[in-house]
């Protein structure tokens, strides 16, 4: 075994670093630092904004989704909608959590998420 300790960062592709810095910083309220490599901090993992095309890699948005834990999905959704963010469908109640899917300006899927039932 290689001994993975934790996930240090998740890469988020962009075509425009400054637009991403503004969206993740001002719209979502994440604190960030860096210039060439923008790192936005959450309590448990860093979102690393990068421009793949500047490294000779084709840009493709992440369709899988990064789940952002919030205390109240409905309230967070209302705030983001007021800021002009469009959501993909209605808020989902899975029976254990609430989820609302949207995308950043580059088309990377993000999910507002709140688990309200304990893990089995």
48 pLDDT band, cuts 50/70/90, is very high
Prediction pTM value? 0.93
Measured over the CA atoms of residue 22, residue 62, residue 120 and residue 92, the dihedral's sign is positive
Please write down the long-range contacts of 113-120, taking CB distance under 8 Å and 24 or more positions apart: 113/67, 113/68, 113/69, 113/70, 113/73, 114/69, 114/70, 114/71, 114/72, 114/73, 115/69
26 pLDDT band, cuts 50/70/90, is very high
Answer left, alpha or beta for residue 29, where phi above 0 means left and psi between -120 and 50 means alpha. left
Mean pLDDT, rounded, for 18-45: 93
Q: Which CATH class is domain 9-115?
A: alpha beta
């Amino acid at each position: 075994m290689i001994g993975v300790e934790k996930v240090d960062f998740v890469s988020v592709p962009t075509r425009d670093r400054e637009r991403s810095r503004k969206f993740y910083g001002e719209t979502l309220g994440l604190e960030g630092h860096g210039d060439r490599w923008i790192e936005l901090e959450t309590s448990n993992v860093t979102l690393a904004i990068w421009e793949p095309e500047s490294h000779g890699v084709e840009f493709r948005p992440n369709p899988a989704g990064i789940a952002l834990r919030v205390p109240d999905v409905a309230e967070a959704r209302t705030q983001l909608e007021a800021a002009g963010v469009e959501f993909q469908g209605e808020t989902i109640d899975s029976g254990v959590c609430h989820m609302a899917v949207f995308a950043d300006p580059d088309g990377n899927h993000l999910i507002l998420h709140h688990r309200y039932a304990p893990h089995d």
